[in-house]
Amino acid sequence: MLAAPWVAVSRCYAVQTRGYVIPMPDPLDLSGRVALVTGGARGVGRGITECLLDAGAEVVICGRSTPDDLPTSSGAGAGGAGVRTAVFAQGDVRDPEQVSAIIAKVIGAYGRLDILVNNAGGAPPADTATASPKFSTAIVSLNLIAPLICSQQANAVMQDQPEGGCIINIASVSATRPSPDTAAYGAAKAGLLNLTQTMAVEFAPKVRVNAVTAGMIRTEQSHLFYGDEEGIAAVGATVPLGRLGEPRDVANACLFLASELASYVSGANLLVHGGGEKPAFLDAAKNTTP
Same domain, yes or no: 216 and 140 = yes
Domain tally, the chain? 2
CA atoms of 169 and 192, how far apart (whole Å): 7
Q: Do both 137 and 22 map to the same domain?
A: no
Q: pTM (2 decimals)? A: 0.88
The answer to whether residues 144 and 234 belong to one domain is yes
pLDDT at 13: 57
Q: Are residues 49 and 184 in the same domain?
A: yes
Burial class from Cβ neighbours inside 10 Å (0-12, 13-18, 19+) for residue 248 reads: middle
**What domain range includes position 4?**
1-26
Residues in the chain: 290
Q: Is 185 a catalytic residue?
A: yes
* pLDDT at residue 229, rounded to an integer: 83
d(CA 260, CA 27): 6
Per-residue model confidence (pLDDT) at position 283: 76
Task: Examine the domain organization and report whether 12 and 94 are in the same domain.
Answer: no
Q: What is the pLDDT of residue 19?
A: 66
Q: Which residues of the chain have pLDDT under 50?
A: 1-10
Catalytic residue (one of 13, 185, 226, 264): 185
Q: Are residues 131 and 6 part of one domain? A: no
Question: Is the Cβ–Cβ distance between 245 and 271 less than 8 Å?
Answer: no
Percent of the chain with pLDDT over 70: 88
